[in-house]
Structure 1
Amino acid sequence: MNNRTFDQRVRLDSIQKLSFRFTSLGFVRNNEFFGPIADGYTLFGYQLNPRIAYQPAPNVVLEAGVFFKSDFGQERITQIAPTFTVKFRHRNWNYLFGTLEGSVSHNLIEPLYNFERLLQQRIENGLQINHQTDRTFFDGWISYLQNTRPGYTRQEQFWGGVSAEFSLLHTPGFRLSVPLQFTVFHAGGQNINSPLPVRTALNAAGSLSLTWQNAASGFLRSARLDTYVAGYSENAEKSYSGSAFYPNLTLHLKPLTVLVSYWRGNAYRAELGGDLYQSYTRRYNSTYEERNRQLLMLRFLKDISIANGLSVTVRLEPHYDVGNGKFEHSEGVYINFRH
């Protein structure tokens, strides 16, 4: 799905040396899931991230702020976390340390990265290199999800990867491109008192993607076909592996965007991937496994620009769980502000 409206990039502004920046996200997402793989629940709340930016040179910026998250129904703020980023640009390449341009900004497909992490675990800290032009997109990062020390009972957790897309053909009406995505999750640590095994999980996905752009302003504005193949491999106490086929057809119509998807997974798993795509359950207090998993998905997406920097996104996402014979759905409304 196109999640650009949720991007939070660290701006380089050659005019102002010192500036105030602010982003917020109000959200409500309801998951009506009844099958054995994913729990149904509602996410309802908001995020705030005020920041001060200092730019000592045209190609360098430092941002410092505080991230607040509040989930409605809780008696206190759910999360308060400092944010700090150093960003340096050299020849259209960006180098970041600290709080990353992460989450959905990595442009990963949902089987590799769960959209709901934007609402629940948005902040990523670590190192990042990215680059974007009309023909190419590249993002490489490593984030430190959880630390540990000798004697601790918890493992340290790293997550990193590369997300890229390269154009093979780019004409006024057509574009043929190759998206490639690769992520690594590692949990372990030295001299810790954790009963959990050391784990390293690899996920990869690739596609041949064709985009058609309508030169006229008709009902059908553009169409894109993606043919993703995904793979999974893990080395823990024993080895695991899986694969999946994930074709998508995206139709940008005049009133809204329609996305038609099919998922066929075979023993697939991704640590940070969307719940519905897993072959191993994420339901509370369950050990269910579904080696062969099939989904038919139909998603309706609408981004509405209200004012400069303020937008509302509405999504309706029904799907049919073929293996369990269940019709399920989720819907969400997101109010996004960037200044």
Structure 2
Amino acid sequence: MSLAQVDQTWRYYYPEFKENAGNNLYFRLENNNFVKNNEYFGNYIEGYTLMGYTAQPSLVYYAGSRLRIKAGVHVIQFSGMNEFTEVLPTFSIHTKLTDKLDLIMGGLKGDVHHRLIEPLFDPENQYTRPIENGFQFVYTSDKLWLDTWVDWEQFIFLGDDKPEKFTAGFSTEYTLTKPESDFSLSIPGQLVATHLGGQISNYSERMQSLANLATGLKMSYNIGEGFIRDIGIATYFVTYHDLTAQSGWDFTNGSAIYPVAEVNYKYGTLMTGFWRAHNFLAPKGNSIFQSTSNYQPGYYTEYRNLITSKLSFTKTFMKQIKFSAMIETYYDVPASQFDYSYGINLVFTPNFFISKVKFD
């Protein structure tokens, strides 16, 4: 149960590791066709529409039972443009260091696989920056799940006039109750830190390092296999820190509280929450949660009070074809401002076995 973020991991590109596929070579295609219409009218973010498709053909090879190599190309095409918006090479090596600990280098298991809440990490990164590159450790056991990574966004050489950019993250959840229990109680922990700078760069702006932290308590109850599957509540405590005091704003620290309630039903999720923030910034988060505007220079509100809701619907046609629809609303209480968005996705992820190739 995700809580505070509707589960969208199935629509993302990173395939699960097959432990019984040693020496197998596959051709894999990952295709996401999307429409996302954001009807935003407030002072923090303008409305816009994303429509198009992504495609990632790749070769996947299992060199034994603990190592996988994946290489291909990722293309993005926004509707109304005559050429591809972006063409990105992709390469990753995924190794199972132990039964519970995985190391991934190159293209990461990123985006919502990090399980970050929306104020810290915007799910629309799947369209605007779908590939994370760097290194990542993922640990999974009955009680503990942990994901830590570095996403290197911009590399520099000596004398470059552009800055070095990277994001470091840490996401974990420790379950206090027994795995077989219908009632679950867990403690999440999240960190997202962004850096802009670089000692060998001639970039004229000052170095900037920003960090967001979140923790809280999550409770859920598994009802069964009927129409309503489980229900849950959670409360997150979130902070913002300007580590170098170079953000350009008068405040260098901020905080927020985010209680949420969620119902998972047969075809999706209904979620509602209340976001109360004071002097809050999150470079990777959804701009609608911030205390500053992303399009009006200098616009700032000390306190934010936002009522959020989300309703999702998902349907699987065969194993490789999945459809989803989502409606999201955001109500700014002090401004009496109602914003909303809606979207659909059709995802096609076939996997074709090519041959056995012995690895020496």
Q: TM-score, normalised by structure 1?
A: 0.95
Q: Does 1:263 align with 2:275?
A: yes
Matched AA of 1:260: T
Cα deviations across residues 222-274 of structure 1 (Å, max 9, x unaligned)? 10111001001012345711100011101123454210111011111111111
Q: Which moved more, 1:117-126 or 1:253-262?
A: 253-262
Deviation at 1:218, TM superposition (A): 4.1
Q: Does 1:203 align with 2:212?
A: yes
> What secondary structure sits across from 1:142 in the alignment?
strand
Deviation at 1:11, TM superposition (A): 2.5
* Aligned counterpart, 2:10: 5
Q: Does 1:235 align with 2:243?
A: yes
Query: Does the C-alpha gap of structure 1 residues 218 and 18 become closer, same or farther in structure 2, counting only changes over 3 Å?
Result: closer
Deviation at 1:133, TM superposition (A): 3.7
| Pairing partner for 2:262 from 238, 241, 250 | 250
Identity of aligned residues (%): 28
> What secondary structure sits across from 1:169 in the alignment?
coil
Q: Does 1:149 align with 2:157?
A: yes
Q: Which moved more, 1:321-330 or 1:39-48?
A: 321-330
Deviation at 1:107, TM superposition (A): 0.7
Matched AA of 1:196: E
Deviation at 1:24, TM superposition (A): 1.1
The 8 Å contact of residues 12 and 59 in structure 1, kept in 2 or not, is answered as no
The 8 Å contact of residues 10 and 101 in structure 1, kept in 2 or not, is answered as no
**Higher RCO (C-alpha under 8 Å, 6+ residues apart):** 2
* Aligned counterpart, 1:299: 310
Deviation at 1:203, TM superposition (A): 0.7
* Aligned counterpart, 1:38: 45
* Aligned counterpart, 2:230: 222
Q: Does 1:105 align with 2:113?
A: yes
The 8 Å contact of residues 245 and 252 in structure 2, kept in 1 or not, is answered as no
Matched AA of 2:43: P
Q: What is the CA–CA distance in structure 2 between the aligned matches of 1:144 and 1:270, rounded to whole Å? A: 18
> What secondary structure sits across from 2:130 in the alignment?
coil
> What secondary structure sits across from 1:5 in the alignment?
helix
| Pairing partner for 1:331 from 323, 328, 342 | 342
| Pairing partner for 1:290 from 295, 301, 307 | 301
Cα deviations across residues 187-229 of structure 1 (Å, max 9, x unaligned)? 10124332321011111101200010113x4443210111001
* Aligned counterpart, 2:29: 22
Runs of 4+ in structure 1 over 4 Å off: none
Deviation at 1:311, TM superposition (A): 0.7
* Aligned counterpart, 1:85: 92
* Aligned counterpart, 1:175: 184
> What secondary structure sits across from 2:138 in the alignment?
strand
Q: TM-score, normalised by structure 2?
A: 0.90
Q: What is the CA–CA distance in structure 1 between the aligned matches of 2:141 and 2:18, rounded to whole Å? A: 16
Cα deviations across residues 112-133 of structure 1 (Å, max 9, x unaligned)? 1011111110100000000224
Deviation at 1:10, TM superposition (A): 4.9
Q: What is the CA–CA distance in structure 2 between the aligned matches of 1:260 and 1:95, rounded to whole Å? A: 35
Flag structure 1 segments of 5+ consecutive residues without an equivalent: none
Alignment root-mean-square deviation, CA: 1.6
Cα deviations across residues 132-186 of structure 1 (Å, max 9, x unaligned)? 2443321110010112223222111110111111100135320001111111111
* Aligned counterpart, 2:134: 126
Q: Which moved more, 1:296-305 or 1:165-174?
A: 165-174
Matched AA of 1:323: P
> What secondary structure sits across from 1:302 in the alignment?
strand
The 8 Å contact of residues 6 and 105 in structure 1, kept in 2 or not, is answered as no
* Aligned counterpart, 1:278: 290
Q: Does 1:51 align with 2:58?
A: yes
Query: Does the C-alpha gap of structure 1 residues 219 and 14 become closer, same or farther in structure 2, counting only changes over 3 Å?
Result: closer
How many residue pairs get aligned? The number is 337
Q: What is the CA–CA distance in structure 2 between the aligned matches of 1:136 and 1:336, rounded to whole Å? A: 30
Q: What is the CA–CA distance in structure 1 between the aligned matches of 2:181 and 2:11, rounded to whole Å? A: 27
> What secondary structure sits across from 2:63 in the alignment?
strand
